[in-house]
Amino acid sequence: MNTLIKILTAFLLSIFISTHAQEKPVDSTLTNQQIEAAVDSLSRALKQVYVFPDMAIKMADHISAQQKKGVYAGLGNGRKVAEQLTADLQSVSKDKHLNVRFNPERIAQYMSVASPEDSVARRERWVGEMRSQNFGFHKISVLEGNIGYLDLRAFMNPEFAGETAAAAMNFLANADALIIDLRRNGGGSPGMIQLLTSYLYDSDPVHLNNFYWRPTDTRTQTWTLPYVPGKRRPDIPVYVLTSSDTFSAAEEFTYNLKNLERATVIGETTGGGAHPGGPYPLDENLVVFIPSGRAINPVTQSNWEGTGVKPHIEVPSDEALKVAVTKAVENLMTGSDNDGERRYYEQLLLDLKSGKLDIKG
């Protein structure tokens, strides 16, 4: 039963993290009665699980007032209702994780799971969607200067994506520097954060993050893993690329490494979402993602909610890769005591500056 619940939750969560979440068009008309029931359901869910109880009450009061004014009934269209509810929730809480989606087809698939056989079929469909995105590992290459480059578009569950992650990190294991590009990464699984970060340290445990969970009034911790498949690189210089679209788990990965002084962050300040949570169906049409926890970094005793992660080197996101490669080459040149290597790096810098060497991610 626990396995079934996990699969169902993960399947519904894919509504929020999958690029295929909005499937073929369906009738999006909602009756006033449906809208009223959904708003009531949303208010109850917020009060039960939202990480800050006082803020949950404020949000519930606000959407209830909007409902009484006829704001949502006046929209009628399910997608517009979802967008307005999202805007109203965020206007009060400023929490960018709070998000209402209209997706009756996916919710129907979720609600139809009634047996272990059904759950296996749904699981295979969900894994297939992740596989079609190569589990978030969009591009892996070694750039000029033996600089490893990983374009990661999502942090997917290592239960399914772990083999791909290990293959990627081992492909890059002989690089002299590593660039991890999170400019198009909207988040995902904390388990993948733990796995990838473990490749950047030796086997001694490193404390990455803490979380407080309101529904259970408990605290949890995450640490690097004592074992990873393949080669660890605790010595490799790491550069993380960010944009304003970098969000959630991608921000945690960046924030962790920045405050552990393990990486240089280059690009734009990130989106500012530090409250993890999960999806809650409101009815057969609408589902809401409600943050039920908050990150508490062991170094800062805080998090990046609302502020984002500020980079060490702030540049427009489309310039971040070239800046990172330049910085990596400069540092490799400075750290080398081999005249031949130094001349090679000097030429690379000249080629980068002149545009002769075109770096593309």
**Residues β-bridged to residue 254:** none
Strand pairing report for 218-223 and 207-213: antiparallel
Mean pLDDT, residues 8-30: 53
How far, in Å, CA of 28 to CA of 26, rounded? 6
For residue 185, what are the CA distances in angstroms to 51, 196, 253, 276, 310?
Answer: 24, 15, 11, 16, 16
Mean predicted lDDT score pLDDT of the chain: 91
Mean pLDDT, residues 100-113: 80
Q: What is the sign of the dihedral through the CA atoms of 325, 329, 332 and 334?
A: negative
State phi, psi for 263 to the nearest 5 degrees: -145, 155
Mean pLDDT, residues 296-315: 97
E strands along 194-334, which residues?
Answer: 207-213, 218-223, 238-242, 264-267, 277-281, 286-291, 293-296, 313-314
**Residues β-bridged to residue 99:** 289
Split at pLDDT 50, 70, 90, the class of 26 is: low
Q: Are 107 and 12 in contact (CB under 8 A)?
A: yes
Mean pLDDT, residues 341-359: 92
Of 114 and 2, the one with more pLDDT: 114
Amino acid in position 131: R
Q: Are 166 and 229 in contact (CB under 8 A)?
A: yes
Domain boundaries 133-354, corresponding CATH code: 3.90.226.10
Q: What is the sign of the dihedral through the CA atoms of 168, 173, 175 and 178?
A: positive
190-228: per-residue pLDDT in tens? 999 999 999 999 999 999 999 999 999 999 999 999 999
pLDDT reported for residue 122: 77
For the chain, the structural domain boundaries read 24-102, 133-354
How far, in Å, CA of 7 to CA of 124, rounded? 10
276-296: per-residue pLDDT in tens? 999 899 999 999 999 999 999
Element containing residue 152 per DSSP (H, E): strand 147-152
CA dihedral 51, 53, 55, 57 (to 10 degrees): 130
Contacts (Cβ under 8 Å, ≥6 apart) of 354: none
Q: Is the pTM of this model over 0.85?
A: yes
pLDDT reported for residue 61: 97
Residue 10 in this model has a pLDDT that exceeds 80: no
For residue 189, what are the CA distances in angstroms to 87, 172, 277?
Answer: 25, 22, 11
Q: Are 165 and 135 in contact (CB under 8 A)?
A: yes
Split at pLDDT 50, 70, 90, the class of 9 is: very low
Residue 171: Cβ within 10 Å count: 16
How far, in Å, CA of 15 to CA of 24, rounded? 14
Q: Are 22 and 134 in contact (CB under 8 A)?
A: no
pLDDT reported for residue 296: 97
pLDDT reported for residue 2: 43
Contacts (Cβ under 8 Å, ≥6 apart) of 361: 139, 149, 151, 181, 241, 321
Q: What is the sign of the dihedral through the CA atoms of 162, 164, 165 and 171?
A: positive
Residue 241 in this model has a pLDDT that exceeds 70: yes
How far, in Å, CA of 280 to CA of 299, rounded? 32
pLDDT reported for residue 3: 42
Of 321, 144, 331, give the one whose Cα is nearest residue 242.
Answer: 321
pLDDT reported for residue 20: 37
